[in-house]
Structure 1
Amino acid sequence: MKKHIILSLIALCSVLQLYAKEVEVSSPDKTLKASLTLNSKGQLFYRIFKNGQQVLEYSKLGLIRADQDFLHQLKFVSVSKPVKVTDHYQLAVAKRFENNYEANKLVFTVSNAQKALMEVIFQVSDDGVAFRYHFPNKSSGLKEITSEATSFNFPAEAKAWLQPMAVAKTGWSQTNPSYEEFYEKEIQVGTPAPLKAGWVYPALFKSNGTWVLITETFPDKDYCGTRLSTESPAGEYTVTFPDQREVIPGKALNPISTLPWYSPWRILAVGSLKTIVESTLGTDLAKPAKIKNVADFKPGISSWSWVMLKDDSTVYDVQKKFIDYAADMNWDYCLVDADWHKKIGRDKIAELSKYAQTKNVALILWYNSAGNWNTVPYGPKDFMLTEASRDKEFAWLQSIGVKGVKVDFFGGDGQSMMAYYEDILTSAAKYGVSVNCHGSTLPRGLQRTFPNLMTMEAIRGMEFRTFEQKDENVAASHIATIPFTRNVFDPMDYTPMALGGVPRFERGTTSAMELATAVLFQSGVTHMAETPTRMAKAPAYVQDLLKHLPKHWDDIRFVDGYPGKYCVLARKAGNKWYIAGINGEKDSKELNLDLSFLPSTSITMITEGKDAMGFSSASLQGSTKVKVTLNPHGGFLMLSQ
């Protein structure tokens, strides 16, 4: 009888909620909640609560199609009961190989003034909230979305870590936007974007003591990439569409599709810094693999001459030395950069690839994404533009044993440009070729859908430190921001590890900090910046560690840190844990690290010292509570057996 009364009260509450047009869906652990409201004017809003504390205030939902308004005068149709959704997947190009996702799903359906339907689908997991739009009706003709009203409305006192969006067609050879600006750190919400083109994902916020990281999933060839608005009055950030120039000329900019139609997921990881850094929501919500030959694509480490030696190094003899270097270091690849077709030639590249294979090394070759969206003089170009030309080029690469391509200088986030990434990945997969995208957008979980996507740049990486002293001056704080933002969900081709510093400039990081970035940063293929000549000067114990560096990671643990100031992360491979720590500030730090998750108290630590290149090595025994000193702009790398 008591149970019957309780169930009746629950049902009554549900009915009252429907009449009030307000519903809630909570995470499996009940600590996170999303609340949806349809107000008296027929407008949709949502809020997010963590442990009963409001993290996101009333934020807008809805959008405008060219043929229909799904923002105003909406009427409630139905709401589903929350249902449990689960997923399990493996992903080598990620911070965790085995991944589990569990969330509660709710579908809220409304109709507009023309009685057309729109569903808003919410999924709430223990580590975050995701939602997307769905038009369930059918159409034979194309529909276009002209704007989204989706917003993220933070309390006025919240802080943000945001990367400005570069204006299209600016920068060297009109190559922007390339997601290569510095993050603005701990700024007041509501601060306008300095470049007037908005803010990019991932966007990090601290709201009422809770951290929130916002991103989205990659569109399925039927949507554009989005960003956050330039203006965010009172802390409300709106989803906006790309600049009209961010397209393949003559092709789609804004979202266009037939019905039915799903939008990409809008994703908010919510919780502590540990929750944010360890979250896999960016791939949990991504589409499963579209290719069958997943095992053909191997993560690994690559040598690379260009970042330190520049254009003159792209010649046969130098590349042969970098192949030998990769072989000596037990690395998998050697990247041959721009203009190889002129400076080496296709016949000699085939010869070089054959030589590399005798060393158990595979080549990766550079290509210009081409088209008329940039004026970059480097080639080869035009090979990626059509399916026929891609098939011909990838077939040749396969025939000479080349395993990867680096495609550079894409043109933005319009729908047609976003579809171009998938076209390249689809063609490459047929021939067993992996892909690295540079001058590109953010992966947005695309590495799960296409496991031959090894990495994407979308970061102000090492190369900028070789251009100007000002980049080297702020390198440490930039590095200390990235593990909490850009590199949380997606692989990132920063091209780390200048152990001997950057030529011509005063150092902004120590050698130990540079060594730590080899573990701190995650990328399917990690292109190491250090040269063979300087690597030979490193202590034997540093070289030995790098020769046995894992090709991919099984797990991750956040140990300590604060965005822009310092970070300590642990990554697991097999039964070994690698713990990387870096200091982004000019003052030393004393840290007491809790390493109780380690299976052993036998720890080797490499940090600052007086050995070659400024290293020292020590053995730490007997405790999982470790006290360490982080030198100014310094770091360490630990290995637990």
Structure 2
Amino acid sequence: MQFDSLFVNRFFRKIPLGINRQLGAFLVLLCLLGPSLAYAQEKAKVDSPNGQVSVLVFLEEGKIFYSVTFEQKSMLEKSPLGLVTNAGSFTQELSFVKSNTGEEKKSYTQDRIKQSFIQYHANTLTYTVKNSADQEISVHFQVSDNDIAFRYELPMWGETKGIVVERELTGYKFPSASTAFLSNMMRPMTGFARTAPSYESGYVADEPIANTNAPLGYVFPSLFKIGNDGWVLLSETGVGSNYTASHLSAIQEGVYTVAYPQAAQNNGFGSSGAQLGLPSYTPWRTITLGNSLKPIVETTIPYDVVDPLYKPSTNYKFGKGTWSWIVWQDNSMNYEDQVAYIDLAAAMGFEYILIDAWWDERIGYDRMEELIRYANSKDVDVFLWYNSNGTVNDAFQTPLHKMNTSFARKKEMKWLKAAGVKGLKVDFFGGDKQETMRLYEDILVEANEHELMIIFHGATLPRGWERMYPNFVGSEAVIASEMLIFVQDTREKEAFYATLHPFIRNSVASMEYGGVLLNKFLNKGNRQGQERLTTDVFQLATGVLFQNPVQMFGLTPNNLEEVEPFVLDFLKKLPTTWDETRYIAGYPGKYSVIGRRLGEHWYIAGVNAEKTPQTVKLQLPMFQGKKVLLYNDDKAKQPTLQTVEVGKNGEFTVTIQSNGGFVLTNHE
């Protein structure tokens, strides 16, 4: 605080002596307190409605930071904020402008996520600073009871209309004793036909954060254990054509930062930054936290802070499907094998069949129309596979050059609608740049105009898309079932990954895994070759653990004769949409138990990745004192079905075999 000395002298001469002395003492005190009062002004705090989560935002030496506590325990230490654009930088020499607090409340229904009815209540803080050029920027926080969402809001800067955000300083500094559960970012233009990155890397589990130094960083979502104090899940949401998708850097000086796509993605085409027109805002960065894994599993924050971008053009129908390619592979792409899989879908009461790559060459458009009519006669609808591009990688499977331009898409989708196709699976994207985000959005928007649902494969993490795009019904973005066919290491780690997904990848978005494989050997002969190392009941459990509104299961026609009838009956009744999801028990990388409900029917499912059987005591108030069905493995790892009674106190003890699983359900 500064004063003009000439003004002060003149002011004091005009005041009586007694009053002069008192006022002088006051002004001296004010001068002494001035710096601390100014500093206090530059600090702003917002708490969650229940008071357990606190976010503090502050300036320090011209830089902006934030920190987070949960139940008064430090979850994020002093962590940086800031943006760099081509029209102005917000990294240093910042000064405080103002801060505002408020409240956000909303209720909504959503038909394709882990919960069907959501009530969202958050307290808000908007913290505004300016740089040395007097350009302003705000950081807007919304803090609910176990979640934080924040984004940057950019007003007009004079005559500036368009900018490019080049990078963020947004960082996360965890206490040094924290451990991480992370999947590394894939190197661009590597892997099959140079299609990476495709979010198909393995995971480190419980790794000390000091060791998490993968050169290209880690994908969202990212899970952290904060010593004995709790858990934190990081992700982002609200990314469409408006921005680039981001990931997490390797740790540097104790801090992870938000990182933009590598320049080499998509064959080097397109900017790594984000193009915005002012006024505008960035996507939401999300932080989910708690003293257990319950808030991590049950969070709906990816959907709470976004809204639908358009209305559905029809009443989209979700359900289960068959899929020849996953086990019978390319050779199954012929008319006769697809008839066999249509018949399998009809026998199981499934709604769909997915017909994969090469159908245009090996079946053809005319015979495909005939095949669709046959499927419809069996009350089965059709999804068709497409290659997303023809320019950014070397993927050669057809149909090719049908989805990467508006003209080609509209022509193709007109035929698809007329032929009666209900959905597409679009593959091989391989990038997170804004150019690719626009392609995702363009496909979704134009597909909705033709009443088509969309599944993305070889693709990025969905970021709020289930709510933003009404015809979006899932993405892979995970080491999915196809890698069980191709890679021995994935077969050996199938249970390990299955215990991670409910806490990480599937926690923030639908996950089109393509699982429930019941062949002992993952090939057409089912006699030798790629041996499945998990049990049949493990596979049933993943049908519950892995949430996606349209599930393409890896069944084969021979399963109708070779698998226990009660196993098939389970799959016939299994829902793919849910009203509620609940964390029951588990530890990422060891075992997981999740509960899901549709209407009055509960499914409690668990799997075990440990080398020995695990006996777990569960708290199941939904089954308190009731008789329910238990699908489990016996000691020989064969599937069993029995009726059991849960204790009047809601306790139930179950033994899960190694690489095995169980399901408890009241759906008879």
Q: Same fold (TM over 0.5)?
A: yes
Q: Tell me which amino acid in the other structure corresponds to 1:638.
A: L
**Alpha-carbon distance in structure 1 between the residues aligned to 2:610 and 2:517:** 19
Corresponding residue pairs, total: 622
Q: Does 1:618 align with 2:639?
A: no
**Alpha-carbon distance in structure 1 between the residues aligned to 2:351 and 2:299:** 28
Deviations 1:489-525 (A, max 9, x none): 2011111111233431343211111111011100121
**Alpha-carbon distance in structure 1 between the residues aligned to 2:656 and 2:245:** 39
Q: Please point out which of 500, 519, 522 is paired with 1:481.
A: 500
| 3-state secondary structure, aligned to 2:462 | coil
**Alpha-carbon distance in structure 1 between the residues aligned to 2:562 and 2:459:** 34
Contact 1:595/1:625, CA 8 A, preserved across alignment: yes
Show the 5 A alignment for 1:134-533: 134-137=153-156, 141-194=161-214, 196-208=215-227, 209-234=229-254, 236-247=255-266, 250-271=269-290, 272-286=292-306, 288-293=307-312, 295-503=314-522, 504-533=529-558
**Alpha-carbon distance in structure 2 between the residues aligned to 1:371 and 1:116:** 42
Contact 1:465/1:502, CA 8 A, preserved across alignment: no
Deviations 1:239-263 (A, max 9, x none): 1110113248654431111101100
Contact 1:610/1:616, CA 8 A, preserved across alignment: no
Show the 5 A alignment for 1:31-110: 31-39=52-60, 41-80=61-100, 82-110=101-129
The match for 2:139 is: 120
| 3-state secondary structure, aligned to 2:210 | coil
Q: Does 1:30 align with 2:51?
A: yes
Distance apart, 1:409 and its partner CA: 0.2
User: So what's the TM-score if we normalise by structure 1?
Assistant: 0.94
The match for 2:618 is: 593
Deviations 1:11-41 (A, max 9, x none): x9xx9586341111000000011111111x2
Q: Tell me which amino acid in the other structure corresponds to 1:620.
A: V
**Alpha-carbon distance in structure 2 between the residues aligned to 1:402 and 1:252:** 35
**Alpha-carbon distance in structure 2 between the residues aligned to 1:598 and 1:71:** 54
Q: Tell me which amino acid in the other structure corresponds to 2:599.
A: G
**Alpha-carbon distance in structure 2 between the residues aligned to 1:627 and 1:249:** 54
**Alpha-carbon distance in structure 2 between the residues aligned to 1:91 and 1:97:** 5
Contact 2:116/2:578, CA 8 A, preserved across alignment: yes
Q: Please point out which of 146, 152, 155 is paired with 1:133.
A: 152
Gaps of 5+ in 2: 1-32, 523-528
Q: Does 1:572 align with 2:597?
A: yes
Show the 5 A alignment for 1:543-582: 543-582=568-607
| 3-state secondary structure, aligned to 1:476 | helix
Deviations 1:205-237 (A, max 9, x none): 011421000000132422111111134332x10
The match for 1:640 is: 666
Q: Tell me which amino acid in the other structure corresponds to 2:62.
A: G
| 3-state secondary structure, aligned to 1:318 | helix
Distance apart, 1:622 and its partner CA: 4.9
Residues 426, 393 of structure 1: CA spacing in aligned structure 2 closer, same or farther, 3 A cutoff?
same
Contact 1:218/1:443, CA 8 A, preserved across alignment: no
Q: Tell me which amino acid in the other structure corresponds to 1:640.
A: N
**Alpha-carbon distance in structure 1 between the residues aligned to 2:188 and 2:203:** 18
Distance apart, 1:193 and its partner CA: 3.9
**Alpha-carbon distance in structure 1 between the residues aligned to 2:365 and 2:39:** 67
Q: Which moved more, 1:476-485 or 1:131-140?
A: 131-140
Q: Tell me which amino acid in the other structure corresponds to 2:661.
A: G
| 3-state secondary structure, aligned to 2:221 | strand
**Alpha-carbon distance in structure 2 between the residues aligned to 1:37 and 1:140:** 27
Distance apart, 1:330 and its partner CA: 1.0
**Alpha-carbon distance in structure 2 between the residues aligned to 1:388 and 1:573:** 41
Residues 190, 52 of structure 1: CA spacing in aligned structure 2 closer, same or farther, 3 A cutoff?
same
**Alpha-carbon distance in structure 2 between the residues aligned to 1:562 and 1:90:** 30
Contact 2:313/2:449, CA 8 A, preserved across alignment: no
**Alpha-carbon distance in structure 1 between the residues aligned to 2:318 and 2:273:** 34
The match for 2:16 is: none
**Alpha-carbon distance in structure 1 between the residues aligned to 2:65 and 2:169:** 10
Residues 598, 16 of structure 1: CA spacing in aligned structure 2 closer, same or farther, 3 A cutoff?
farther
Q: Which moved more, 1:370-379 or 1:262-271?
A: 370-379
Contact 1:499/1:512, CA 8 A, preserved across alignment: no
Distance apart, 1:47 and its partner CA: 0.4
Q: Tell me which amino acid in the other structure corresponds to 1:625.
A: E
Contact 1:335/1:364, CA 8 A, preserved across alignment: yes
Contact 2:605/2:664, CA 8 A, preserved across alignment: yes
**Alpha-carbon distance in structure 1 between the residues aligned to 2:520 and 2:471:** 32
Contact 2:267/2:393, CA 8 A, preserved across alignment: no
Gaps of 5+ in 1: 1-11
Q: Specify the structure having the higher radius of gyration (Cα).
A: 2
User: So what's the TM-score if we normalise by structure 2?
Assistant: 0.90
Q: Does 1:19 align with 2:40?
A: yes
Residues 605, 17 of structure 1: CA spacing in aligned structure 2 closer, same or farther, 3 A cutoff?
farther
Contact 2:623/2:646, CA 8 A, preserved across alignment: no
Residues 575, 18 of structure 1: CA spacing in aligned structure 2 closer, same or farther, 3 A cutoff?
farther
Contact 2:189/2:267, CA 8 A, preserved across alignment: no
Residues 250, 596 of structure 1: CA spacing in aligned structure 2 closer, same or farther, 3 A cutoff?
closer
Q: Tell me which amino acid in the other structure corresponds to 2:295.
A: T
Deviations 1:505-546 (A, max 9, x none): 343211111111011100121110121212432222221121
Residues 59, 502 of structure 1: CA spacing in aligned structure 2 closer, same or farther, 3 A cutoff?
farther
**Alpha-carbon distance in structure 1 between the residues aligned to 2:186 and 2:250:** 11
Distance apart, 1:610 and its partner CA: 8.5
Identity, % of aligned pairs?
Answer: 36
**Alpha-carbon distance in structure 2 between the residues aligned to 1:383 and 1:520:** 34
Q: Tell me which amino acid in the other structure corresponds to 1:32.
A: V
